[in-house]
Structure 1
Amino acid sequence: MENNHHELKKGLLPRHVQFIALAGMIGTGIFKGSSDTLNIAGPSVIFTYLIGGLLLFIVMAALGEMAIAFPNHNVQLLLYRAFGFKLSFITGWLYWINWTIVITVELLAAGSFLQFWYPSIPLWLLSLICAAVIIGINLFPVKYYGELEFWFAGIKIIALVAFIFLGALIIFGVFPSDIGDPLANYTAHGGFFPHGVSGMLSAFLVVMFSYGGAELIGVAVTETKDAERVMPSIIKGAVWRVIIFYIFPILIICGIMPWNSVNGQESPFVQVFTMTGLPGAAHVMNFILLTAVLSAANSGIYATSRTLFSMAKSGVAPKGLMRTSSNGIPFIGLMITSLCLLVGVFFAYISPSNIISYLMTIPGFTIMIVWIGICSAHLKLRPQYKVTPSFRVKWFPYTTIIAIVVLSLIFIGFILTPNNIIGSTVSLLIVGILVVLSLKAKKK
């Protein structure tokens, strides 16, 4: 299976890259995590998604600009170029840990959706089966992975559009349903801001987890044909689509059902379709949600294996991780990630009821650190451009500085919030360990 190849193959088309990034962003965060954000903030969570979307656009634009200025540089290599070995070591491994946890969350969510049909089978076993399927997919050449991910992501995007369309018809009374006055749900049950502005701000952690995955474009760029030409349109298209696919569904959910009736046991999307009384609709939606989270996990395994390859290339990780299969797949990195997923499945065996909620808070912290790193690298590298990129961030450096400040304030706020004590402790512990290791590590 393995040989001495040390190069990835440029097999991804523009549509593959766009949908890979969308796949990473549209997964458990919206389909399962929306129940958490609604419980935290009520209908006002749409403002949290809007603010998060603006930050997302700045980060994506900065990343796209740097990717054009420095061809064949993904996120980790850009950070290495900007800040050198130690910071690149910390952020590279942090990004890998982040995505490993995200994949675990997605696979556990997939297992929970399967329990809708097979309630007697334990969560850990269903999640393990899902993990085996996704790992198998990633052993194929990247062009096949990209094509499969394109259709995977396409299913959930079509499902979200259908959900928005059907929900709007129900809310405005065009489609008959058992729901009395849908519009009243926006202001009843404590109002639009049931937990005040503080509740809205408290939802940021899950929102940032949800939007994490946008930077996958910066990972996939090294395997993309004509990256400079297609990158601007990919970034612009991905951002506005994600904002729409988060905000509109939340508005639909809050209109059709009281926000405080979201139970967290099953997806709010399935709850909505169950309430409409449409025969078989909940089963169809549950199948779509299953493909959606498997798609996000698929993107995550792609991200982790390529991040390990990139770190090995820059000397931040052992050189052995650069070895690829005859298909150009970083096989060793893929296997390391797979072993870590088994640990996540083991945690599901220990604590099946709380594991998803606990794990979902950690990537929210780590993705903020990575995003701050991307924006900081943008400030550092802009003066070093040898050629002016065709795509540039407007109102530089103010937009980039604003993003750094806001992300930093969100990060500090959540560390100081008592409800996030488990996630913040684990995240700070991970960062602390990586800092110590970076001081002792030497370039491979």
Structure 2
Amino acid sequence: MENNQQNLKKGLLPRHVQFIALAGMIGTGIFKGSSDTLNIAGPSVIVTYLIGGLILFIIMAALGEMALAFPNFNVQHLVNKAFGFQVSFIVGWLYWINWILVTVVELLAAGSFLQYWFPSAPLWLLSFLCAVVIVGINLTQVKYYGELEFWFAGIKILALIAFIVLGFFLLLGIIPGSSHDSIANYTAHGGFFPHGAGGMFSAFLVVMFSYGGAELIGVAVTETKDAERVLPKIIKGAVWRVIIFYILPILIICGIMPWNKVSGAESPFVQVFSSTGLPGAAHIMNFVLLTAVLSAANSGIYATSRTLFSMAQSGVAPKSLLKTSKSGIPLTGIMITSAFILGGVYLAYITPSQVISYLMTIPGFTVMLIWLSICAAQLKLRPLYKKQSAFRVKWYPFTTIFAIVSLCIIFIGFLLNPNNVIGSTVSLVTVAVLIILSFAVKKRWTLVNLNSIRQV
């Protein structure tokens, strides 16, 4: 099935890329992680999502600007061009680890949603079955993957719209079962800021995990047709849609039921509809949530396999990862990703009750580091543009510097928070190991290049 070709096929259409990015961002973070953010910050988490959305827009704009200035360069290529081999090695592998964890979280969430109908089935088994389906999808041609992802993402976007509409009907009393004094739910039970500014700040970790995936546009750009024309529109559309799809549902959940009644046992979306007594609504929503997280996992396997491929192109991963199938699929990368997903499923076998919450904190750290590298790369590469793109970050460099400072403050705050000991320890150890490996690999990489020059 493999051959020696080393190119990915440009099979993704603009609508595919836009929905792939949305699929990466709209998954466990909103459908299951929203219960965590509400417990941490209460209704004030809405402010956290707004601030995170502003940072997200700056990151996306910087990424889009660089992608147009350097055609066919994805995130890993851009970092390599800006900072060289070692930083590219660290960021590339960190991004791959990030998406491995995200994919595992999404598949575990899928298994937990299946438990709504099959409560006696173990989480690891249901998650394993979901993994088999998603890996199979990624083994098809990229255009078929894009089409499937388009419909996967479309289902959950339509579901969110339906949730928003039905939610407002419930709040207004048009549909029976809603609270008669929904406004009180925003101000009662400790007020809008029940845990103060500290609670709102602490919620950033899950919010960053939730918004992580936006940069997937920068991974898919090398397989996108006519990227220069469509990329700016895709970026602008994706950002405001995601902000709306996070802010409005949280507003509705907090209005329909007290924030302190949201449990982590099931999705707040299912919990809302279960409490209203609407016939069959909870089952329909649970099916949609299952589709949603499978969609995000689908994007995760795409991201990990393409990241390995681009790292092999830059020399920071083995050249064997450049081999693709006849249909242009990086088969080796997908197989490696699948092996690590099995490891995540094994974690669900060991600690089924805690594994999702633990794993969800780590990508929050790694996403921030990836976003920092994107902003820093833009500051470094802007003077090197051969031509000025029509799509540019406004008020540069102040907006980019604002994003960098904000991310640094949030990152340091998480490291100092005793509630994040596990996530921060794992993240710091991972970065330290990658730094050490980068020196060893660079030395070997330099020797190989010198030998090649001598042979010539």
TM-score (norm. length: structure 1): 0.99
Match for residue 199 of structure 1? 199
Match for residue 246 of structure 2? 246
Match for residue 451 of structure 2? none
Return the offset for 1:274. Answer: 0.3
Match for residue 219 of structure 1? 219
Match for residue 151 of structure 2? 151
Structure 1 counterpart SS, 2:386: coil
Structure 1 unpaired stretches of 5+ = none
Match for residue 268 of structure 1? 268
Distance 2:397 2:84 in 1: 22
Structure 2 counterpart SS, 1:4: coil
Give the 5 Å matches for 1:196-345. Answer: 196-345=196-345
Return the offset for 1:180. Answer: 3.3
Identity %: 76
Return the offset for 1:203. Answer: 0.1
Return the offset for 1:242. Answer: 0.2
Structure 2 counterpart SS, 1:2: coil
Structure 2 counterpart SS, 1:254: helix
Structure 2 counterpart SS, 1:153: helix
Q: Which moved more, 1:432-441 or 1:167-176?
A: 167-176
Distance 1:69 1:376 in 2: 16
Structure 1 counterpart SS, 2:382: helix
Return the offset for 1:182. Answer: 1.6
Return the offset for 1:290. Answer: 0.1
Cα pair 1:123 1:352 within 8 Å, conserved: yes
- Aligned residues, how many? 444
Distance 2:415 2:407 in 1: 12
Structure 2 unpaired stretches of 5+ = 449-456
Distance 1:47 1:369 in 2: 22
CA deviation string 1:223-258 (max 9, x = no partner): 000000001100000000000000000000000010
Structure 1 moving runs of 4+ over 6 Å: none
Distance 1:201 1:269 in 2: 23
Return the offset for 1:173. Answer: 1.6
Give the 5 Å matches for 1:43-442. Answer: 43-177=43-177, 179-442=179-442
The amino acid of 2:42's aligned partner reads G
CA deviation string 1:48-101 (max 9, x = no partner): 000000000000000000000000100000000000000000000000000000
Cα pair 2:79 2:87 within 8 Å, conserved: yes
Cα pair 1:219 1:306 within 8 Å, conserved: yes
CA deviation string 1:281-324 (max 9, x = no partner): 00000000000000000000000000000000010100000100
How large is the Cα RMSD of the aligned pairs?
Answer: 0.7
The amino acid of 1:116's aligned partner reads Y
TM-score (norm. length: structure 2): 0.97
Distance 2:175 2:100 in 1: 42
Distance 1:326 1:191 in 2: 59
The amino acid of 2:360's aligned partner reads M
Return the offset for 1:178. Answer: 5.0
Distance 1:276 1:71 in 2: 51
Distance 1:178 1:73 in 2: 50
Distance 1:390 1:125 in 2: 50
Distance 1:388 1:426 in 2: 41
Distance 2:312 2:201 in 1: 38
Cα pair 2:171 2:178 within 8 Å, conserved: no
Distance 1:118 1:198 in 2: 38
The amino acid of 1:122's aligned partner reads P
Return the offset for 1:387. Answer: 0.9
CA deviation string 1:377-419 (max 9, x = no partner): 0000000000111200000000000100000110011001000
Cα pair 2:322 2:330 within 8 Å, conserved: yes
Structure 2 counterpart SS, 1:12: coil
Cα pair 1:24 1:300 within 8 Å, conserved: yes
Distance 1:149 1:54 in 2: 26
Distance 2:177 2:304 in 1: 44
The amino acid of 2:352's aligned partner reads P
Return the offset for 1:172. Answer: 1.4
